[in-house]
């Protein structure tokens, strides 16, 4: 099984710890992981904002970097959602038949981390240890586009030492939404304030999610509220072991 790791833009520039943790989990489970050096942006920002023509080079770059692998794994539900549900639209509107065919070969094999662990590898216990109170926020793209369901919670529930706390109104958006937060900052902050209020109500030490973008948004609000609640990507919790303590 040839597995490629897609870092994503945020993973590469701001949250490399989530990418390294993803690699660590996959290798612990016996995967041989490669990191294609030609990878760049998946084009989600362009596509979501309506710039489909400008997204074509990003889609072309993605398939060139990842074609030929059995599976591609990324620590991001939003990027994987864009790849699986939008790349074919971009290629079709661009009128590039060869690109459409390449997208058809690559995109079905791209997975968000929890999907890959549960659906492809068939595991929920990854040998993790994390003795802390944790609440989990299901991000919009993973929940609504990829329909990962309870896979992340199933993985977390198998972590030794963890105390998993239910998040009120868990399926409510955190307010980030990519460029939505830039275009509608007041609404974005109001939605984030509701979300972080629910996080505080749980008594958790750690807020976990599978998208660094949502964690960046909620983490910024939590930092300003000075509640001492830290944010961690799902991969970072799953990567922890007793030997790390």
16 in Cβ contact with 231 (< 8 Å) = no
- Give pLDDT, residue 158: 98
The residues near 54 (Cβ < 8 Å, ≥ 6 apart) are 46
* Spans in the chain with pLDDT lower than 70: 245
- Give pLDDT, residue 245: 66
> What tokens appear for 130 in the block?
């994390």
Q: CB-based burial of residue 229 (10 Å sphere; 0-12 exposed, 13-18 middle, 19+ buried)? A: buried
- Give pLDDT, residue 181: 87
Q: How far is CA 21 from CA 17, 46, 110, in A?
A: 6, 28, 18
Measured CA angle at 157 (ends 152, 163), to 5 deg: 120
- Give pLDDT, residue 242: 86
2 in Cβ contact with 32 (< 8 Å) = yes
Going by DSSP bridges, is the β-strand pair 163-165/110-112 parallel, antiparallel, or unpaired?
unpaired
* Residue (of 100, 6, 108, 90) closest to 51 by Cα position: 90
- Give pLDDT, residue 244: 78
Going by DSSP bridges, is the β-strand pair 133-136/163-165 parallel, antiparallel, or unpaired?
parallel
């Amino acid at each position: 099984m040839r597995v490629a790791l897609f870092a994503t833009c945020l993973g590469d520039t701001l949250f490399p710890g989530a990418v390294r943790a993803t690699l660590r989990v996959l290798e612990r489970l016996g995967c041989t992981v490669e990191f294609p050096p030609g990878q760049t942006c998946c084009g989600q920002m362009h596509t979501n904002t309506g710039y489909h023509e400008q997204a074509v080079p990003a889609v072309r770059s993605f398939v060139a970097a990842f074609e030929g692998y059995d599976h591609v794994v990324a620590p991001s539900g939003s990027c994987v959602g864009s790849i699986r549900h939008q790349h074919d639209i971009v290629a079709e509107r661009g009128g590039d038949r060869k690109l459409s065919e390449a997208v058809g070969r690559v995109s079905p094999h791209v997975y968000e981390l929890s999907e890959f662990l549960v659906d492809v590898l068939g595991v929920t216990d990854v040998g993790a240890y994390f003795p802390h109170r944790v609440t989990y926020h299901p991000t919009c793209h993973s929940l609504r586009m990829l329909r990962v369901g309870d896979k992340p919670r199933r993985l977390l529930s198998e972590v030794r030492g963890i105390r998993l706390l239910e998040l009120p109104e868990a399926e409510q958006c955190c307010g980030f939404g990519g460029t939505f937060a830039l275009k509608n900052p007041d609404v974005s902050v109001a939605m984030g304030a509701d979300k972080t209020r629910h996080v505080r109500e749980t008594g958790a030490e750690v807020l976990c999610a599978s998208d660094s973008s949502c964690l960046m948004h909620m983490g910024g609000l939590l930092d300003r509220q000075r509640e001492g609640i830290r944010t961690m990507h799902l991969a970072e919790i799953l990567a922890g072991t007793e030997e790390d303590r």
